């Protein structure tokens, strides 16, 4: 089960999965792993919700169990 996460923690955890960045570009930050460019939302009020985290992980190709194990 996924839980809401702070933006900084999300970025640090994605780095553990091999993503580089974040880099600024357009409206959102993004991180890169190989040919994959993953856009990172910036919630100005509070944490990234569990449902948004699930969508980010889906796009990144990261299983939620794998995510929770780190």
pLDDT at 23: 94
Burial tier of 11 (Cβ tally within 10 Å: 0-12, 13-18, 19+): middle
Of 36, 44, 40, nearest in space to 53 by CA: 40
pLDDT at 67: 96
**Mean pLDDT over the full length of the chain:** 92
pLDDT at 6: 93
The token pair that represents 47 in the structure block: 């944490």
- What is the pTM (predicted TM-score) of this model? 0.91
pLDDT digits (tens, 9 = 90+) for 41-62: 877 788 999 999 999 999 999 9
pLDDT of 27 strictly over 90: no
Share of the chain above pLDDT 90, in %: 80
């Amino acid at each position: 089960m996924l839980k809401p996460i702070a933006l900084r923690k999300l970025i640090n955890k994605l780095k553990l999965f091999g993503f580089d960045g974040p880099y600024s570009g357009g409206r959102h930050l993004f991180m890169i792993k190989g040919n994959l460019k993953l856009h990172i939302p910036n919630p100005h009020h509070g944490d990234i919700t569990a449902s948004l985290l699930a969508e980010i992980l889906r796009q990144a190709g990261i299983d939620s169990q794998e995510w929770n194990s780190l």
